[in-house]
């Protein structure tokens, strides 16, 4: 599942290869991929045709392309979605769901094997689409409010990792980056949020930002070609992981074997020495 850095890499690619181009033709092959456009696939296509893309923006794992009529094309990649910019002559992917012909001869193609992702046109959504206004900004977003984050985190009265995964508190942090940020901040995932001291929250924010920036730095090299891609497994970042997926391997800081615990149907990885489990734990 793509996490924030992967989606940001896609946004950068869209910024480079789609902004400034006009959408000349739209074909929807899979109605499920535009199911959240309630007016239906034909209206979806009609409202995009002839519009020029003026920017490429992101909030959490949502992308939106403001259009020259103040509407916006909104996209979410779901589990397996990809937004590809390819020449019209390139053979289409087996999972091509929506095809948009651009004025420069390329095509913006939405491919999605499992069809959990989707596209919609948001009326007057250029600034911030109403459909995603409930998503909190991520810690790399210039509009992210640190003080609001600190107080909201304490009020949450839950385990710190569960709070990090809550998209209304801060968006775009999935299981992998939560574990990595907590290791960097030397905090256990089950720490009750109301017990966090200010310095610990600051450490957490530094950890989250560092891990996201590092992942972005590695992903940023992957789109030299005319190709905007999401690697759903975030494979390129795998080399830099300190705890995630490294059960029983030595901690990069202290050598203690990394511990894997079940967590919300998935796993949590910690160093038992760097991230001691709190006496009072909250899941």
CB of 200 to Zn ion, least distance (A): 17
197 is catalytic: no
Asked if 251 is part of the footprint of Zn ion (rule: CB under 5 A), the reply reads yes
266 is catalytic: yes
List, in order, residues 6 or more apart from 87 with CB less than 8 Å away.
105, 106, 107, 226
Site string for Zn ion, 11-30 (x = CB under 5 A): --------------------
How far, in Å, CA of 106 to CA of 108, rounded?
Answer: 7
Nearer to Zn ion, 48 or 274 (CB): 274
Asked if 187 is part of the footprint of Zn ion (rule: CB under 5 A), the reply reads no
Which of 77, 185, 230, 274 binds Zn ion (CB under 5 A)? It is: 274
Between residue 43 and residue 82, which ones bind Zn ion under the rule CB under 5 A? none
161 is catalytic: no
User: Near Zn ion by CB under 5 A, which window of 82-90, 147-155, 215-223, 250-258?
Assistant: 250-258
The answer to whether residues 223 and 236 touch, using CB atoms and an 8 Å cutoff, is: no
Binding residues with Zn ion: total (CB under 5 A): 7
In SS3 terms, 213-276 reads as HHHHHHHHHHHCCCCCCCCCCCHHHHHHCCCCCCCCCECCCCCCECEEEEECCEEEEECCCCCC
Strand partners, 57: 64
CB of 186 to Zn ion, least distance (A): 8
Where helices occur in 84-166 by DSSP H, the ranges are 146-155, 160-165
User: Near Zn ion by CB under 5 A, which window of 3-11, 74-82, 105-113, 251-259?
Assistant: 251-259
Point out the catalytic residue in the list 61, 162, 184, 191: 61
**Token digits for 278?**
């709190």
**Token digits for 75?**
């996209």
User: Near Zn ion by CB under 5 A, which window of 51-59, 160-168, 201-209, 264-272?
Assistant: 264-272
61 is catalytic: yes
Nearer to Zn ion, 217 or 276 (CB): 276
Helices H / strands E in the chain, number of each: 6, 10
User: Near Zn ion by CB under 5 A, which window of 59-67, 78-86, 92-100, 254-262?
Assistant: 254-262
Asked if 273 is part of the footprint of Zn ion (rule: CB under 5 A), the reply reads yes
* 198-219 and 4-17 helices, crossing angle to 10°: 50
**Token digits for 112?**
């999605």
Nearer to Zn ion, 124 or 253 (CB): 253
CB of 252 to Zn ion, least distance (A): 8
List, in order, residues 6 or more apart from 139 with CB less than 8 Å away.
149, 170, 205, 208, 209, 212
**Token digits for 279?**
């006496």
Which of 124, 134, 155, 253 binds Zn ion (CB under 5 A)? It is: 253
Nearer to Zn ion, 154 or 277 (CB): 277
How far, in Å, CA of 76 to CA of 230, rounded?
Answer: 12
Asked if 271 is part of the footprint of Zn ion (rule: CB under 5 A), the reply reads yes
Q: Which active-site residues does the annotation give?
A: 2-3, 61, 266
Question: Interface residues with Zn ion (CB under 5 A)?
Answer: 251, 253-254, 256, 271, 273-274
């Amino acid at each position: 599942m793509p996490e924030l850095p992967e989606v940001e890499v896609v946004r950068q690619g869209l910024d480079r290869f789609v902004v400034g181009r006009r959408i000349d033709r739209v074909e929807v092959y899979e109605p499920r991929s535009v199911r959240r456009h309630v007016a239906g696939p034909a209206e979806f296509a009609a409202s995009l045709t002839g519009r020029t893309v003026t920017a490429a923006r992101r909030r959490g794992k949502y992308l939106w392309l403001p259009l020259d009529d103040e509407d916006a094309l909104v996209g979410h990649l779901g589990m397996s979605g990809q937004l590809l910019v390819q020449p019209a002559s390139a053979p289409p992917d087996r999972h091509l769901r929506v095809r948009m012909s651009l004025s420069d001869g390329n095509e913006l193609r939405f491919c999605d094997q499992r069809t959990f992702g989707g596209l919609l046109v948001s009326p007057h959504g250029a600034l911030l689409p109403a459909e995603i206004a409930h998503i909190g900004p991520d810690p790399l977003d210039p509009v992210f409010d640190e003080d609001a984050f600190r107080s909201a985190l304490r009020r949450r009265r839950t385990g710190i990792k569960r709070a990090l995964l809550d998209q209304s508190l801060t968006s775009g942090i999935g299981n992998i980056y939560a574990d990595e940020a907590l290791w960097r901040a030397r905090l256990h995932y089950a720490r009750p949020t109301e017990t966090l001291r200010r310095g610990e929250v600051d450490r957490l924010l530094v950890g989250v930002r560092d891990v996201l920036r590092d992942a972005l730095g590695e992903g940023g090299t992957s789109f030299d070609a005319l190709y905007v891609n999401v690697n759903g497994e975030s494979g390129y970042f795998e080399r830099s992981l300190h705890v995630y997926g490294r059960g029983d391997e030595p901690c990069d800081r202290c050598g203690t074997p990394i511990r894997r615990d079940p967590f919300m149907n998935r796993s949590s990885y910690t160093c038992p020495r760097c991230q001691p489990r709190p006496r009072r734990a909250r899941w």
